[in-house]
Structure 1
Amino acid sequence: MTDQPKYDGGLVAYGIDTASPSVARVYDYFLGGKDNYEADRELYRQIMKVAPEAPEWARANRRWLKEVITWLAEERGVRRFIDAGSGLPTAENTHQIAQGVNVESLVVYVDNDPSVVAHGRALLLDNDRTQFVAADLTKPDEVLAEQPIADLLSAGEPVALVMALMLHHIADYDETLAVARQYVEALPPGSFLAITHACNPGDGGAVDELVTELQEKVKHAFPTLAFRSVEQISSLFGEMEILEPGVVRLVDWHVPGGRLDEEPEPDVRDAIYGGVAEKR
């Protein structure tokens, strides 16, 4: 019998590379999770030397996700969700938020990181309204052909597609546009697209310097990571109508028609932006 690979004295699932850092596992570590290995923690330490605010970027993304999913489910009546590039299961996952509003909500997660696939499928064993698809999001034809995705879209009801901290892992801008456009075209009318993305204003200022240094430090582990301008991020929504307050820092985002409880202090270190658009 072939032994399973071992790490830190424990067993890990087949296909999981514990010697190289994983985007999903580093993100998990930012959020205080335990599903990570020494390679992930070493990269975390390197990132912290350059951008000690990075864990707050991760936490801000989770807060944004909860606010967006809650608003879509409660106020816009969305009952079908696709979380593309979902990452490792943490507290308050998309299906928990959506089904907390309406137990009938259908959720499909998509990711191809072996760690995410293993943990995601284990998490969802007892939830028949949530499914997990192991697929490469940079290949929309293959993703859209997966039965759970095809079933979700074929009903013609509004779907909320979440692409949080995912598109900036496609290095080429034109390819990123093409990938996003194909997903947008597949969405039924009345659907929503929610994106968060690493941002670089490209103006030579403090944020520009920070993210340029950060990219250089982590390019060995994440060679495709691309910080983009607000204009480039906005273009990923295609012809969809970007809802207020637009594509903004996550700390500045609020539900359309609402407002922030308090005005956040300006912080030049903020480098994660997000927005939500509707397909009319």
Structure 2
Amino acid sequence: MTTVKLPLVVGVDGSGSSMEAVDWAVDEAARLGLPLRIVHASLWERYETRVPSFATGRPAEEVLAGNIVAAGTERARLRRRDLDVSGQVVPEEAVSALLHAAREASALVTGSRGRGGIVGMLLGSVSLTVAARADCPVIVVRGDKRNRQGGYGRVVVGVAEPTQSSAAVGFAFREAEARGCALDAVRAWRRPAHEHVDHPLVVDEAAGVREERASALLSDALSEAVRDHPGIDVTRRTREGPAHQVLQEAATQADLLVVGARRRHGHLGLQLGRVAHALLHHAACPVAVVPQRS
């Protein structure tokens, strides 16, 4: 029986950032052998009745929506002519459209800024909300051209507790395997604020214990994926400091940063976590947020 492959979905709004996301998604779909679906959300149909009865042309918003999808589709096909590409205008609000699309997607790709966004501004609200609520992995495409186009040959994954990181770790290993690149697995650790700095030997000993524990937890979290992907060159790194700062530094020269986000059953609010939230705003490369069910 032939297995149906879920498409890679990319959201477009006509902005330069969303077209960079199309480029990234084309390359990703080609690497993974997936069809690519381009989605644009537009509520023009809601306002169709406001068009004067004597009007003979299509509503301007309908034309704009169609043009955005056509531009994204043409861009994708020009970049990779052998790729299975389709485009669709969805009559919904942007967040709802993308969350619905995510239910039947292998992953969802967005740009880092929406239409009208200013270079240097933080992540757009649509991308942030989708990353915090989607059922599938969400990749927010950010960073300079070299980061976006795989110029470093390196994927970074942030590893929390083993039970909270398995989905992100598995995703990162598959990405490294598809790209034929190295994988850096990073775990941050912290000294408790109450440690006595007046006793440096005690502090150093306690720090050593914490670093050893971080290393052991990292190895534990990676063990299954290492066994399943024996050809991946894996580097294990433990670093002292806030997790978002440690991972932000590690991803400076990376093609992709992968982090997990816990999803609690029955919880309807945003489920992202402070680390993923900070990295989506500030990381120097594309960021993949992978939901971990609990």
Q: Same fold (TM over 0.5)?
A: no
- Bigger relative CO (Cα 8 Å, ≥ 6 apart): 2
- Give the TM interval when normalised to the shorter protein: 0.3 to 0.5
Higher strand share: 2
Higher-Rg structure is 2
TM-score of the aligned structures, taking structure 2 as reference length? 0.31
TM-score of the aligned structures, taking structure 1 as reference length? 0.32
